[in-house]
Structure 1
């Protein structure tokens, strides 16, 4: 994928906002890339890969741990499976594709519920438990991601990473996006107080673990691929119906209107919702994906904009209002466009 670069000062306030966030969280490095009207108009890098002396500076090829941003790639794989008929409908029951699961516990849980965080399932001590009835509320849990990656593999006979590599990464020449089993000098360290290995590399590179690292420029290009509905450099690389499935509102109408709204795991802006993670001034039909490391991709089709921010922090420090900060990120982008 080729995107020309024509830097300007339009998004200076966003740069300041990202820099302020960088200085407010426990991170050693940060990055920001903004694409507008088919050009990279802002690109900034701060700090180093770690807090170690003589650590590698953050630069264009630095890859950050993206945490839950990986879910947008899993959402793509599910949309690919639906579009190509491997999954008949997202309203099919999960047990249709994973028949060994407890049908009584799943109790009508559908793929739609998994995709929109309305499944009501959680994992407790390695066992699946029910938190609320499917389609009746919203909760951000990890069990749905595990089930979705299993469904993709069962139906397509390919892993999430195989689908992405074959249909996205290789055609677009992405070399700084992937799941990693070993550390490389381009992977920024996740700054954390815990030794939890989940935030490190993992033996599996199938796309079912949280070991995905991406550079800021390729994450922006991922957003741009969606913004352009798969039409890149004069060629329809991805069928637009796959992108439309992934980024349009899919949440069941049975949940409270103030709960977050989702497409295929992307957060989407539709009706006003008090608990949305997208800024108040960001227009309808925009969509966003977030990660625990502070990473975010915001796509605003109405203004032909993709905005990416990246940090290597493990969550938020005490007293830091993450929800207010991520909403302000989008609203600052909108201020720059007004």
Structure 2
């Protein structure tokens, strides 16, 4: 991504959070569609570039594919949404955002008079603004394909410009509608509130204090603003470190970065999303087995089981953005890794 598109850099600090190898490693095997499978089979058949299983901060399993090396970054797609919502928490802790019940137009005045009038930050974080949106990745005329490129007004962020023209379809807070454009809006809201770019703020609040091993990369829109809903790049271990930062309640080396209780709110159901899994938090998906996860198209995920201190990361180049069988295969791997790790 960083060689093909404009990006900003999320600078790491001097400290690197160690992720030591556990004394015993796992090598789960499971049955999928009537056939026994192992990690290498799953990775080869589903074009995985990396999998990592972390328990209590120690690596139980780490594998690479597609020619990737441990120092190589890989794009997140929508896993970035969960980073963006985490930065909302940091901005609340810093006193830059007063409340999730503040209306969005307090922070993005250009949305005044639009369908976002009266919509709260909480409703953006739960994808329930009520504004009409089409997230069809196969349709070149869908909102997700056009947002950020259709309009360029002097002094106006293109995402804000595009979103301000959309009509309302539902009462705010009433219905979940998956909406990448609104996660981009949250990114604009955060950077406006803190007076810094998202990359700079992520460096200050996560990359530096928690100890990422390599600079991260964040894709920008046509105005040079980072996309709050997409496309960060980081190493496999840094994906795991971000999961660990959240699992450890947003505390980095004794410094509280996120408000106490924020992670619990963000990673438990705040709205029903119409189908299993059983709900959606603040840009985090809920699972039916006690876990929560950040998910991106083409096979990116950070799955956390907080009761077990367990984090499972996948990076992939699936042949399509999604698909029932691809998600079923990923879920089978996650459940097998969870079962194997619980006994460690």
Q: TM-score range by the shorter chain?
A: 0.7 to 0.9
Change (3 A) 1:296 1:211: closer
Q: Which moved more, 1:301-310 or 1:75-84?
A: 75-84
Q: Is the 8 A contact 2:130 2:173 kept in 1?
A: yes
Q: Between Structure 1 and Structure 2, how many residues are aligned?
A: 293
Q: Distance in 2 between matches of 1:20 and 1:117?
A: 36
Q: Which residue of 2 aligns with 1:116?
A: 126
Task: Give the conservation status (yes or no) of the 8 Å contact 1:4–1:38.
Answer: yes
Query: What RMSD in Å do the two structures reach over aligned CA positions?
Result: 3.2
Distance change in 2, residues 1:304/1:293 (3 Å): same
1:262-291, Cα deviation, whole Å (9 max, x unpaired): 3321123xxxxxxxxx2x3x22xx321011
TM-score (norm 2): 0.73
**Aligned match for 2:331, one of 327, 330, 333:** 327
Q: How far apart, CA to CA, are the structure 2 residues paired with 1:18 and 1:139?
A: 34
Q: Deviations over 1:168-216 (max 9, x none)?
A: 21223324352257xxxxxxxxxxxxxxxx9xx9883745474411111
Partner of 1:214: 234
2:204 to 144, 163, 166: 166
Q: What SS class does the counterpart of residue 129 from structure 1 fall into?
A: coil
Q: Look up the SS of the partner of 1:262 in the other structure.
A: coil
Structure 1 stretches of 5 or more lacking a match? Answer: 49-57, 182-197, 269-277
8 Å CA contact retained: 1:287, 1:299: yes
**Could you say which residue in structure 1 is the equivalent of 2:61?**
42
Native 8 Å contact 1:249 1:262 kept in 2: yes
1:61 aligned residue: 71
Distance 1:142 1:204 in 2: 18
Shift of 1:167: 1.8
Distance 1:160 1:207, change over 3 A: farther
CA distance in 1 between counterparts of 2:267 and 2:231 reads 27
Which of 316, 319, 324 is matched with 1:311 structurally?
316
Q: Which residue of 1 aligns with 2:178?
A: 140
What SS does structure 2 have at the residue aligned with 1:30? strand
Q: How does 1:1-338 map to 2 (within 5 A)?
A: 1-6=17-22, 8-13=24-29, 16=37, 19-25=40-46, 27=47, 29-48=48-67, 58-103=68-113, 105-121=115-131, 122=133, 124=143, 126=162, 127-179=165-217, 204=224, 206=226, 208=228, 210-231=230-251, 235-236=254-255, 238-239=257-258, 241=260, 243-244=262-263, 247-249=266-268, 251-252=270-271, 261-268=279-286, 278=287, 280=288, 282-283=289-290, 286-313=291-318, 315-316=320-321, 321-336=325-340, 337=342
Q: Secondary structure of the residue that 1:225 maps to in structure 2?
A: helix
